[in-house]
Amino acid sequence: MLDIKLIRENPELIKKSTADKQMDPALVDKVLELDEERRSLIQKTDAIRKKANAFQSEIKGKPTPDQIMQGKKFKEELSKLDPELAEIEKKYQDIMLQIPNPAASDVPIGKDESGNVEVKKAGEIKKFDFTPLPHEQIAENLDLYDSKRAVGIGGTRAYFLKGDLVLLEQAVLNFAIDFMTKQEFIPMTVPWMVNKEALWGTGYFPWGIEDHYTTQDGQGLIGTSEVSITAYHQNEVLDEKNLPLKYIGISPCFRREVGTYGKDTKGFIRVHQFNKVEQVVLTIADEEETSKWHKKMLGFSEQILQELGLPYRVLLMCTGDMGAGQRKKYDIETWFPSQNKYRETHSASYFNDFQSRRLNIKYHASDGTTKYVYTLNNTVVATPRLLGAILENYQQKDGSIIIPEVLQKYMNKKVIKLQK
């Protein structure tokens, strides 16, 4: 959520930034209109309460009939205005929650993914002396993956991982946890089902409502542990001396993948359930400091890929291909030989106070003021998508898989091959 003062003082700027994110700039006019009505009603009710309090303080002893009549008049006036104010307040809050966060000044303007800018490529793309197979075929040939039985049990995009592929997944997750704890991040398991306030607070609602699963009790299944961890300090006032707070969340993630019908139906690139290690940072209200952390967190993910020996590229996302709440976003795409292309495996974003205002997370600053914290998040690893990249890049002509060197200690072996 934005500061209403920012919207009042910069309406045209907020309209433009809203349009740049492919959203309706008329929302800005609507929220300003409701803000005027709201402030006018607040002034009226405050004035009546002030008069009523002053009138009450003047009464000495038992009130006279006229005084009783005047007291009732004040109550009647408030009883008419209070419901009107409550209705306007609800409409105002609803629209405020729909205003997107303006992108940072160095974010490219664009309508969709075609406006994204490649800022870096790293790693050597392996040349195979055979036609590289797609990850799902490699895994099926090694009897490590079953989608046919899974679909019969769990529906579209369901999957079973088996044997050494399960162990490889755990190796990747454990390697990521070990790496991030060395960077002094606190590991956390998190609630997988959360109250809707956490999804509204992190900015996944209203824009991502359709892509989230809802339980019969009205809670939402998380699409990322960012939701649970960012909301961990909701309605708290922290202390600047304890910032930044650095967490990693370890959890399954659930996404309906609405709007992706027919896309990536083979393999485990786009699935409804996956596992992820996510990094979340809460820091001081300073965009320069936040930008430093943004690059640092991106660097951690790059180091993970470098140690895994996987080629990748980094994209700076344009305004039309980033989330409504994100101020700036980098995506990392990892090389998939069978597709002869890079595919997204990581996303790194910062929000300034967009999430913390919605969640009411503040801190006592060293200058004596109270401010909203700034929030950031980034993928460390997400499986099984990253497993697909490992299988494809490390496949051998005989169908076996060389295990990346940094993972071998977790699996006590160097090669995955068909068990006879």
Burial of 163 (0-12, 13-18, 19+ CB in 10 A): middle
Question: Which among 38, 255, 357, 358 is annotated as catalytic?
Answer: 255
**Is residue 380 within 8 Å of 180, Cβ to Cβ?**
yes
Whether 38 is a known active-site residue: answer no
Q: In whole angstroms, what is the distance from residue 201 CA to residue 189 CA?
A: 20
Q: In whole angstroms, what is the distance from residue 160 CA to residue 151 CA?
A: 9
**DSSP one-letter string for 326-386:** -SEEEEEEEEETTTTEEEEEEEEEEEETHHHHHHT-EEE-TTS-EEEPEEEEEEEEEETHH
Q: Position of tokens 């969340």?
A: 249
Q: In whole angstroms, what is the distance from residue 226 CA to residue 239 CA?
A: 21
Whether 251 is a known active-site residue: answer no
Whether 256 is a known active-site residue: answer no
Whether 113 is a known active-site residue: answer no
Q: In whole angstroms, what is the distance from residue 285 CA to residue 191 CA?
A: 27
**Is residue 380 within 8 Å of 275, Cβ to Cβ?**
no
Question: Which among 37, 89, 240, 344 is annotated as catalytic?
Answer: 344
Q: In whole angstroms, what is the distance from residue 371 CA to residue 361 CA?
A: 9
340: left (phi over 0), alpha (psi -120 to 50) or beta: left
Question: Which among 157, 338, 385, 392 is annotated as catalytic?
Answer: 385
Question: Which among 228, 347, 349, 356 is annotated as catalytic?
Answer: 347
Question: Which among 270, 287, 313, 343 is annotated as catalytic?
Answer: 270
Whether 57 is a known active-site residue: answer no
Which residues belong to the active site?
255, 270, 344, 347, 385
